[in-house]
């Protein structure tokens, strides 16, 4: 302490100079620290941006490859969703790091890091524009003159959302009395889906769409509405759902008739837990999809769903009692009575899914999945890999003829696919003789050879598709929804879910907004005569907005 005191100057001027020097040194040190911090933040932001950019480009490349050439392996189909999740996190990291670097750059001389983002699309023209004009300066900032003349303007557009607005519509019905006969005259009350109902069609459509398409149970909807200041109890919402299902039955019946009148149907099912006493039963949701677009058909696509508590064969027999045509499905034995010669009225034509057979070989040839198993991995089967390659060559041909007429597809198949199928059959029979009964590859080969007529039926009818993917896509919503609603509360609840899925999926297949469509038909169905109900079907329906613009 004594040495430090002795070094201090005696006069005030020297002390002030020394203090100023020390302050300058500290400012310089803080500046260097801020610069180093800004450079580090900028470098981190650059790394985050690069990682996000690489992930985005990889995802886009894989999507383009899959669109152009199809999925070369099912592993890629599984990886796409994982890559999208990874990209989401990397983009969020890059955005956060960019903001940190910008804040750090303000305290230093380092230039702020700016990400190179993909070009943003302009906002849709139909969105309303709210013009906010910033008040212009009254005087020139340079000389103070008030003689300012407008040269132009720059407009910055910001996308904003207005929170959902609730409103109460008061429908007034005036009463009049006749001075001569003294009778009272009054217009009829407005229609509500439920007796003495209170919910408008847009509210009902939102409840239905969120429950059956967005997989939001009614209790979660009730909680969210309460936070918005509207008290709608679970029982009240459930009452509205049941009433809507009853009101929409005529539309469902028309869709059901349309689907069962098809020449060809895709059929499949998936599990749905149904509540039982102290447990849940493994119930089933069945779907039958009519989609004639692959063979150039003009009939609109539609999907039909049913629910059951088990998977007994009596269910598809009942569902397809009136159907006569081609059924594309997997090898589930419950469909077998439908193909018997003594079926009344006529036996169905059978067509199997090549994607199912390919999957059995692919599991044995998935190199990437096998690598993850490490020491427990089983050797890759060269025979299974060869089978996958041969089947993929058939898929390549199908992609080229998709959308052509049935006759054109059949002609192309006879020319290109038939030789490949004959070679595949001969190869499978030869390789099967080399395998033991317990071989996994033998099981996959037997699956095809024992059902060869069903697999090769696509060579005899151009309407048949190579896969049953249309039905599998139709069931994807239930596979995702199970994670949200866990189980159906009763048999009627499962039936209601299948009922609403029929309406919603049919609207989606026809590129119609399901919620807007439901809102409109709920408002119009009471005043629409039975003879004109077909006008409300998704493929005949036009949006009220489009009608208003046309008028």
Residue matched to tokens 């900032």: 141
Q: How many domains does the chain have?
A: 1
In a domain, 38, yes or no: yes
Q: Identify the DSSP state of 310.
A: S
Sheet containing 349-352: order of strands: 302-308, 279-290, 264-276, 326-329, 349-352
Pairing of strands 176-177, 349-352: unpaired
CB 361 within 8 A of CB 387: yes
The pLDDT value recorded for residue 91 is: 61
φ/ψ of 184, rounded to 5, equals -95, 135
Tell me how far apart the alpha carbons of residues 112 and 85 are, in angstroms, rounded to a whole number.
Answer: 28
In a domain, 237, yes or no: no
Q: Which stretches of the chain score pLDDT less than 50?
A: 1-2, 71-73, 75
Q: How many CA atoms lie within 13 A of 139 on its CB side?
A: 5
- 140: number of Cβ within 10 Å: 11
Judge residue 494's burial from the number of C-beta atoms within 10 Å of its C-beta, 0-12 exposed, 13-18 middle, 19 or more buried. buried
In a domain, 495, yes or no: no
In a domain, 74, yes or no: yes
Does the pTM of the predicted model rise above 0.95? no
CB 536 within 8 A of CB 525: yes
In a domain, 348, yes or no: no
Pairing of strands 349-352, 326-329: parallel
CA dihedral of residues 458, 461, 464, 465 (deg, nearest 10): 50
End-to-end, the C-alpha distance of the chain in Å comes to 94
CB 368 within 8 A of CB 73: yes
In a domain, 254, yes or no: no
CA dihedral of residues 405, 408, 409, 412 (deg, nearest 10): -170
CA-to-CA separations, 96 to 38, 44, 92, 107, 166, in angstroms, rounded? 14, 10, 6, 18, 35
- Residue 421: name the closest of 457, 464, 381 by CA: 457
> Got the DSSP string for 448-485?
HHTTHHHHGGGGT-TT--S--HHHHHHTHHHHHHHHHH
In a domain, 464, yes or no: no
Q: Find the domain containing 35 and state its range.
A: 20-106
> Got the DSSP string for 169-232?
-------EE-TTT--EE-PPPPP-SSTT----HHHHHHHHHHHHTS---HHHHHHHHHHTT---
The pLDDT value recorded for residue 263 is: 92
Can you list the alpha helix ranges (DSSP code H) found in 310-353?
314-319
Can you list the alpha helix ranges (DSSP code H) found in 70-147?
74-106
Pairing of strands 349-352, 184-185: unpaired
The pLDDT value recorded for residue 72 is: 47
Residue matched to tokens 């949200």: 484
The pLDDT value recorded for residue 84 is: 59
How many helices and strands (H and E) does the chain possess? 20, 7
The pLDDT value recorded for residue 419 is: 93
Tell me how far apart the alpha carbons of residues 247 and 523 are, in angstroms, rounded to a whole number.
Answer: 11
Per-residue model confidence as pLDDT tens digits over 72-93: 445 455 555 555 555 556 666 6
In a domain, 151, yes or no: no
CA dihedral of residues 258, 260, 261, 263 (deg, nearest 10): 120
Tell me how far apart the alpha carbons of residues 338 and 318 are, in angstroms, rounded to a whole number.
Answer: 10
Tell me how far apart the alpha carbons of residues 440 and 365 are, in angstroms, rounded to a whole number.
Answer: 11
Structure token digits, residue 178: 């006749």
Q: Identify the DSSP state of 393.
A: H
Local structure of 117: helix, strand or coil:
coil
Secondary element (H or E) of residue 409: helix 406-412
Tell me how far apart the alpha carbons of residues 328 and 466 are, in angstroms, rounded to a whole number.
Answer: 9
Q: Identify the DSSP state of 272.
A: E
Structure token digits, residue 66: 């899959």
The pLDDT value recorded for residue 517 is: 95
Tell me how far apart the alpha carbons of residues 108 and 33 are, in angstroms, rounded to a whole number.
Answer: 9
CB 500 within 8 A of CB 428: no
Cis, peptide link before residue 515, omega less than 30° from 0: no
Q: Identify the DSSP state of 246.
A: H
Per-residue model confidence as pLDDT tens digits over 226-282: 898 888 888 888 888 888 888 899 999 999 999 999 999 999 998 888 877 777 788
Structure token digits, residue 327: 């059924």
Q: Which residues pair with 281 in a beta bridge?
A: 274
- Residue 192: name the closest of 176, 180, 204 by CA: 204
């Amino acid at each position: 302490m004594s040495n430090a005191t002795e070094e201090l100057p005696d006069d005030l001027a020297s002390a002030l100079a020394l203090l100023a020097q020390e302050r300058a040194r500290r400012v310089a040190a803080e500046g260097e620290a801020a610069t180093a911090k800004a450079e580090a933040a900028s470098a981190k932001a650059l790394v985050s941006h690069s990682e996000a950019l690489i992930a985005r480009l990889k995802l886009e490349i894989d999507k383009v490859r899959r669109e152009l050439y199809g999925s070369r392996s099912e592993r890629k189909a599984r990886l796409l969703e994982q890559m999208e999740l990874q990209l989401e996190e990397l983009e969020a990291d890059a955005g956060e790091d960019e903001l940190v670097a910008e804040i750090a750059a303000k305290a230093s001389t380092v230039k702020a890091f700016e990400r190179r983002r993909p070009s943003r699309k302009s906002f849709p023209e139909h969105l309303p524009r709210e013009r906010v004009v910033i008040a212009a300066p009254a005087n020139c900032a340079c000389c103070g003159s008030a003689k300012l003349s407008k040269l132009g303007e720059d407009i910055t557009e910001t996308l904003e959302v207005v929170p959902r607005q609730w409103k109460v519509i008061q429908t007034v019905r005036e009463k009049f009395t006749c001075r001569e006969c003294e009778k009272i005259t009054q217009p009829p009350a407005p229609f509500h889906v439920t007796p003495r109902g209170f919910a408008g069609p847009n509210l009902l459509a939102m409840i239905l769409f969120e429950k059956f398409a967005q997989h939001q149970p009614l209790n979660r909807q009730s909680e969210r509405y309460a936070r918005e200041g509207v008290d709608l109890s679970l029982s009240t919402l459930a009452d509205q759902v049941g009433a809507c299902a009853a009101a929409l039955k005529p539309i469902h019946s028309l869709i059901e008739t349309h689907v069962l009148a098809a020449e060809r149907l895709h059929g499949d099912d998936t599990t749905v837990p149904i509540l039982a006493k102290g447990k849940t039963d493994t119930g089933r949701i069945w779907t039958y999809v009519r989609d004639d677009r692959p063979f150039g058909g003009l009939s609109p696509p539609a999907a039909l769903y049913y629910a059951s508590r088990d998977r007994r064969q009596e269910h598809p027999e009942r569902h397809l009692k009136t159907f006569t045509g081609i059924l594309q499905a997997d090898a589930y034995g419950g469909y077998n009575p439908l193909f018997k010669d003594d079926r009344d009225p006529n036996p169905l034509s059978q067509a199997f899914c090549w994607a199912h057979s390919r999957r059995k070989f692919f599991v044995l040839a998935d190199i990437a999945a096998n690598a993850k198993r490490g020491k427990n991995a089983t050797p890759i089967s060269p025979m299974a890999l060869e089978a996958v390659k041969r089947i993929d060559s058939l898929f390549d041909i199908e992609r080229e003829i998709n959308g052509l007429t049935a006759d054109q597809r059949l002609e192309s198949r006879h020319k290109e696919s038939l030789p490949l199928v004959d070679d595949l059959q001969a190869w499978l029979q030869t390789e099967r003789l080399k395998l033991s009964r317990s071989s996994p590859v033998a099981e996959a080969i037997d699956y095809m050879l024992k059902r060869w007529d069903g697999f090769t039926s696509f060579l005899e009818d151009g309407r048949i598709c190579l896969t049953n993917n249309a039905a599998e896509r139709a069931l994807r919503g239930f596979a995702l929804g199970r994670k949200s609603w866990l189980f159906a509360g009763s048999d009627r609840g499962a039936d209601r879910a299948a009922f609403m899925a029929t309406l919603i999926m049919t609207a989606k297949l026809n590129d119609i907004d399901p919620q807007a469509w439901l809102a409109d038909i709920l408002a119009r169905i009471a005043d629409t005569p039975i003879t004109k109900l077909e006008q409300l079907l998704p493929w005949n329906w036009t949006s009220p907005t489009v009608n208003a613009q046309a008028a």
